[in-house]
Amino acid sequence: MKNIFLVDVDDTILDFHGVSADAFRAACLENGVAWSEELQRQYWVFNVSLWEALERKELTREELMRERFVRFFQKLGLHDADGYAVNRSYIAYISNHPRYLPGAEDFLRKLSQAGRIFFVTNGTEDIQKSRFDIVGLWEKAENTFISQRIGYDKPAKAYTAYVFSHIPDFRREQAVWIGDSLSADMRAAWEAEVTGIWFNPQGKANTSGVQPDYEASSFEEILEILGKFTQNP
């Protein structure tokens, strides 16, 4: 029986992608940077590459959080753009405008009826605290494991080991890891030999080399998969 649910937060429960797009546009306009949809697209690709580099330990979280816009504007040759000011505006917006993905609250309610929920997130502690407070996310899980607080990022084995050791009565065979990231969530699940469900509502191609146990395009499909393992999905 599967009744321990390790659930990612950003783009699994909270709409980080959508809020990030809003935040980037607002931060550019606030700081005199000419925003466009193409600039938005280029930033998203660049930002994903930085988080993947963080997972590979090629840069530190502090470097990412401090310099991402500086590096981005330098790469594009936008030398008049103040990357530090844009970063401050961006973080402020992200921290204060969280929102659930459609259907996420109902999904968590149903998931809680099937077992115990634990949030696993690579987010920054101060930002996550603000966002969790605003949307009331803390009470929807038994515990939340924020990578910055722990000192390791997903998919590091040290992060996973910490999570497992801080869940009372943890049993690997009872656990399911649910998340949208192949490189963070599904790799962590794969390496820990825990059942993984890749949440992939956009239908992205998997070119990562990581093979999740299951793939789901909706919350309903996740619950259907869990129905194979739980008495009350």
Residue 36 sits in the same domain as residue 140: no
> Which tokens sit at 213?
């146990």
Of the candidates 37, 36, 60, which has an alpha carbon nearest to the alpha carbon of residue 50?
60
* Alpha helix (H) residue ranges in the chain: 16-30, 37-55, 61-76, 83-96, 104-114, 125-135, 147-150, 157-165, 187-192, 219-226
What is the number of other CB atoms lying within 10 angstroms of the CB of residue 219? 22
| pLDDT(54) > 50 | yes
Longest dimension (CA), the chain: 59
**Based on the domain organization, do 122 and 58 belong to the same domain?**
no
Asked whether residue 159 falls in the same domain as residue 209, the answer is yes
pLDDT mean over 52-74: 90
Which residue type, as a one-letter code, is found at position 207? T
Quick one: pLDDT at residue 57?
A: 84
Residue (of 44, 77, 71) closest to 58 by Cα position? 71
For residue 231, pLDDT beyond 80 = no
126-174 per-position pLDDT tens digit: 999 999 999 999 999 999 999 999 999 999 999 999 999 999 999 999 9
Q: What is the pTM of this model?
A: 0.91
Residues 80 and 125 in one domain: no
Q: Identify the CATH number of the domain in which residue 92 sits.
A: 1.10.150.240
| Domain identity same for 126 and 55 | no
Task: Give φ, ψ of 3 to 5 degrees.
Answer: -145, 15
With bands split at pLDDT 50, 70 and 90, how would you rate the model's confidence at 230? low
Domains contained in the chain, number:
2
CATH assignment at residue 152: 3.40.50.1000
Query: Do 58 and 35 share a structural domain?
Result: yes
121 shares a domain with 86: no
Read off the pLDDT of residues 5-39 as tens digits, 9 standing for 90 and up: 999 999 999 999 999 999 999 999 999 999 999 99
Dihedral of the alpha carbons of 63, 67, 73, 76, in degrees to the nearest 10: -10
Amino acid at 114: A
For tokens 């191609």, what's the residue? 205
